[in-house]
Each structure stands twice: as C-alpha cells, then as structure tokens.
Amino acid sequence: MTSEWIVEAAERMGFDACGIAHATALDEESAHVEQWLEEGREGEMGYLTRNKEKRYDPRLLVEGTKSIVTVLYNYYPKQQIGDGEHYKIAKYAFGADYHEVLKRKMRQLLEHIESQTGKLVGTRVFVDSAPVLDRAWAVRCGLGFIGKNTTLIHPKKGSFFFIGHLFLPLELEATSQPLNNRCGRCTKCIDACPTGALEAPFHIDARKCISYLTIEYKGSLEDHDPKTFHGWMYGCDICQDACPYNRFALPNMEPEFQPSERLVAMREDDWKNLTKEEFDELFKHSAVQRAGFEGLKRNIKFISED
C-alpha cells in the first residue's frame, strides 16, 4: 500500500484533490489558534475551546493514528440562489448536508484501502464534526494554502471545497510539502468584507462575520446594520467570491449538491412568509438546519429591513 495508490484511488472516486501527511502535533498552528481564542474572537462558538489537546494532536484524538489522508470535494454551484441582492444562501448549503455526503464517500475510500490492507483497527472518518484543524491538515497535505480571508485556497482550483480526513494506523509517505501563502499583495477579500470581520490578513473576528452571525449566533441582530449583510440570510461567500483564485472554480458534478427546483424558485414574498412546514420541506437534509427555522426567520426579518 503506497501513498500514490491512495491518492490515485481518491481521484478516480471523484475527489478533487487528495494528500497525505504524517500524524504529528500541530504546534505552530495551535499557537495561532490559542492567541485567537485568548482574544475572544470565537464569539459563542464554545466548542472551539473544548478538547483542544486532541484538536492540536490527532494521535490524542484517535490512538494509534500514524497518517492523515485529507481530501477536497468541490461544492461550487452551477447556479445561484436569490435575486442577487437579497435572500442569499452560502453556496455550500445549496443541496444535501455535506457532512453525510462526504462521509459516505470517504467511507467508500476507506473500504477501497482496506481491500488491499485488510480490516484496519482504529480508523476514523472526519468531516467537520470533531476537534480537528481541517485547514491545517489540508495545508500539511499540500492541498492548498491559507488565504488572507482564512480559507483554504487550492492554487489551481480556488476555495469552494469541503475538507475531509481519514485517520489511519498506517505508516505512509507524505505526498508533498506544505504550501506557503500565495496571496502576494492582494487584499480583495479584506476590502470586500462589508462588516470588517477580516480585521487584518489571516485574522478574522467571528463576532463580526456574516456567516457566524447568521448561523452560529443565536442572539438578537439589532446591534448590527442590515445593509452590511448584503442580503445574506444564511452564511456568506463575499470574501471567497472576491478571491482571484476562484476564477478557476468549476461547477461541481455532485447530484446531491444541486439545489431543488423549489428552492431555486423561492422569491421575496416566499421567504418573508416562510412557514415551519415549508422550511422542513426545503431543508430536510440540508446544512441550513444548523440555523433552524427560528434562526432563519430571524435572519430573513433582519435583512428585509435593509
């Protein structure tokens, strides 16, 4: 079993990129996170302060882990939702919940690996659902660099990707060296952020971020200016849309990520009059469930004041 074999298998199965790194402590990355947490920039995301040791060292999260296999899976859509001004949803939430879709595909990759190695004890699949520094491992695996907007950017494919990991008890060769930042002097993402959440290159204050405020934050939005939300009712893609590297983004080919006809057909009055029953039908298997019906209605009412 070689690293090259795993990477080639992942690409044949439809993953957009795959890399492998040795399981080690993320000392430099953890120091950056600790400083960010000390500044209180995480807002109400208290889960980021729990299990930090496991977050910084995968061997503490899953005993016996020796290698991390990281994959990218494209979610850039073929079409947009909303009228371009209001009632916009972040692109990653157009279709089915990515957690389940990507986990299922990664389990298939694991089964493919085990067809060569036999059943492996101590393997785990992670997709944004455990104390794992997702972007740090993607960088370690050579799949991109961290942009000034703090997203992972693949230099040839952009940043609209989900990240998944296999923790394996196998000694595998690292596939490449981490990539250094390639933003150069560009500050388009920082300049585009309407709420000032990107306070400086590589430094985001979640408490000002539209994505955080429309998804994670459960309080009132009355202290914010609805005009600065630019019509985003769930998540935000402004800093990614502004990134020049996303000129390379291609529409995804995943059927489960395509928005339903009913979702695409929603208009202003439909959103303003959205019922719980309609919400459940529209977002039955969607990441939008994270905000919940009441959260989305709060957001809709807020941006309608613009």
pLDDT digits (tens, 9 = 90+) for 97-115: 999 999 999 999 999 999 9
How many angstroms separate the Cα of 69 from the Cα of each of 3, 54, 60, 275?
9, 17, 17, 42
Task: pLDDT band for 51, please (50, 70, 90 cuts).
Answer: confident
Kindly state whether residues 60 and 205 are assigned to the same domain: no
Count: domains in the chain: 2
What is the distance between the alpha carbons of residues 133 and 126, in angstroms, rounded to a whole number? 11
Please name the residues in contact with 134: beta carbons below 8 A apart, sequence gap of 6 or more.
128, 152, 163, 165
Q: Could you say which of 16, 97, 128, 269 is catalytic?
A: 128
Whether residue 182 lies inside any domain: the answer is no
State the residue range of the domain holding 220. 188-249+258-303
Whether residue 65 lies inside any domain: the answer is yes
Kindly state whether residues 67 and 128 are assigned to the same domain: yes
Per-residue model confidence (pLDDT) at position 81: 79
Task: pLDDT band for 83, please (50, 70, 90 cuts).
Answer: low
Task: Tell me, yes or no, if the pTM score tops 0.85.
Answer: yes
Answer whether residue 86 shows pLDDT above 90. no
Whether residue 234 lies inside any domain: the answer is yes
Q: Is 270 a catalytic residue?
A: no
Give the CA count within 13 Å in the CB-facing half-sphere of 109. Answer: 31
Whether residue 38 lies inside any domain: the answer is yes
